[in-house]
Amino acid sequence: MKNRDLFSSLFWMAFGVLFLVGALQQGLMRKGVPGPGFLPFISGIILISLSLMVLIPALRKQKKERGAWGREKFFTERDSLKKILLALMALFAFGFSLGYAGYLITTFLFILFIMRLMEPIIWRTVLITAFATVIFSYLLFVVLLDVQLPQGILGL
């Protein structure tokens, strides 16, 4: 597990550095307002910070999870591959049904499915989290940022 965390965090850190370089080439500010490189610059900083949060514990970690012949296990849980495939299918279904069912319904069902898929959490927590996610994202995008979200056939 240590090597996988180490290599993945270094990869994403390098990707974050590419974001920073590209953002600086585009320019962070233009005439006192954020320029085209501002958002990629912030994204690069966040990506590097998150990578460091994985890298530092990976460097400190001494104990490794080992598989049958002394190699690291790629999937640490028995049904990890099944969960990954189901999550990918749910993501594609989300993208496909967004135009038909609308943002609110599709996002609610997607969050519901993903939360129940990853860990068996009690239904009350799953429902509250899915509902809060939909309401918060609706308020953020529609009310604050004035972004038009797909309404679907029901107009929601």
pLDDT (mean) for 23-41? 87
Task: Find the domain containing 32 and state its range.
Answer: 2-60
The pLDDT value recorded for residue 147 is 87
Q: Residue 123 domain-assigned? A: yes
Distance in angstroms between the alpha carbons of the first and the last residue of the chain: 44
Lowest mean pLDDT among 31-40, 73-82, 116-125: 73-82
* Domain match, 56 and 96 both: no
Q: Residue 155 domain-assigned? A: no
- Residues 6+ positions from 47 with CB-CB distance below 8 Å: 12, 13, 15, 16, 19
Decide if pLDDT at 38 tops 50. Answer: yes
The pLDDT value recorded for residue 70 is 52
pLDDT tens digit sequence for 44-103? 999 999 999 988 888 877 445 444 555 556 566 677 788 888 889 999 999 999 989 999
User: Which carries the bigger pLDDT value, residue 13 or residue 64?
Assistant: 13
Decide if pLDDT at 126 tops 60. Answer: yes
Structure-block tokens of residue 136:
């918060």
122-147 as b/e, with b when 16 or more CB fall inside 10 Å? eeeebeeebeebbeeebeeeeeeeee
pLDDT (mean) for 15-22? 93
Domain count, the chain: 2
State the Cα–Cα distance between residues 104 and 107, nearest whole angstrom. 5
Of the pLDDT bands very low, low, confident and very high (cuts 50, 70, 90), residue 146 is confident
Helix (H, G, I), strand (E, B) or coil at 20: helix
* Domain match, 52 and 8 both: yes
Q: Residue 152 domain-assigned? A: no
Q: Residue 71 domain-assigned? A: no
- When the pLDDT of each residue in the chain is averaged and rounded to a whole number, the result is 85
Q: Are 102 and 109 in contact (CB under 8 A)?
A: no
Helix (H, G, I), strand (E, B) or coil at 2: helix
pLDDT tens digit sequence for 1-12? 557 788 889 999
Helix (H, G, I), strand (E, B) or coil at 74: coil
The pLDDT value recorded for residue 145 is 86
* Domain match, 95 and 132 both: yes
